[in-house]
Amino acid sequence: MVERQAGRGVVGQLVVLIRPWVVFLVAMAAAGSSAAQSPPAADLASPEAALRSYWGLLDWREQALLARGPVDPTEAAYHRQMMEITAGRTRQFYQSVQSVIQDRRRTRLERRIVSHMQESPRRAVIVANIRNVTPVPRGAKPSAALVRQRKKGEDFKYVLALDGTQWKVLEVWSLSMGPRLLYAPSAAEYPAFVPPQ
């Protein structure tokens, strides 16, 4: 039998008693999820360790994006609406976008250090070969060039510098079609590009 006094009964008191436990459980879940979302610790004691820490952070980010789920709600709503107002090939494009994004997030890479050269006590250069070893989906029909690219992989050059007592990635170069610096600071872009309409 439930008693009520001044508009607040035993049920209201039970809710008050339960709320601290709910708050505690929510706090524990949040603590667990924030721990899962923490980036891996960096080992910057040597050039090779710093490069492996760099790769570990890239992999951690990809896993975090995959765990976050499909495309964010705004993007998903955009693609659903586009499927309603498009037809034919344009509609097929919007239908395929989400699966392409998910497939890219499931990419598995094999990284192998090819050479490590200490240019000076404060500068090192590491060349690594990186191959995509993601399982090939059933029904995929790659060109001969894609098969060769997958087998060969791509070479990258990493320039590392000693910053105090820690090694850090200074430059990343793609060596696939001639040396090309990646992640260079961008200058202001001249607005001439027209996005697909």
Is position 33 within any domain? no
Question: Does residue 154 contact residue 130 with C-beta atoms inside 8 Å?
Answer: yes
> How many domains would you assign to the chain?
1
Amino acid type, 186: S
Is position 150 within any domain? yes
Low-confidence winner among 81-95, 103-117, 126-140 (lowest mean pLDDT):
81-95
Percent of the chain at pLDDT above 70?
Answer: 76
Give per-residue burial for 111-130: e unless 16+ CB within 10 Å, then b: eeeeebeeeeeeebbbbbbe
As given in the structure block, the two tokens for residue 102 are 């998910």
CATH number of the domain residue 64 falls in? 3.10.450
Residue scoring higher pLDDT (181 or 110): 110
Amino acid type, 146: L
The whole-number pLDDT of residue 23 equals 34
Q: What sign for the dihedral angle of Cα 78, 80, 83, 86? A: negative
The whole-number pLDDT of residue 78 equals 80
Is position 90 within any domain? yes
Is position 14 within any domain? no
Question: Which letter does DSSP use for residue 55 in this model?
Answer: H
Q: What's the domain range around 92?
A: 47-135+145-182
| Per-residue pLDDT tens digits for 103-128 | 666 788 999 999 999 999 999 999 99
Residue scoring higher pLDDT (117 or 86): 117
Distance CA 96, CA 105 (A): 15
Is position 130 within any domain? yes
| Per-residue pLDDT tens digits for 27-76 | 333 344 444 578 999 999 999 999 999 999 999 988 887 777 655 678 77
**Quick one: average pLDDT of 138-159?**
93
Is position 161 within any domain? yes
Is position 104 within any domain? yes
pTM for this prediction: 0.67
Amino acid type, 173: W
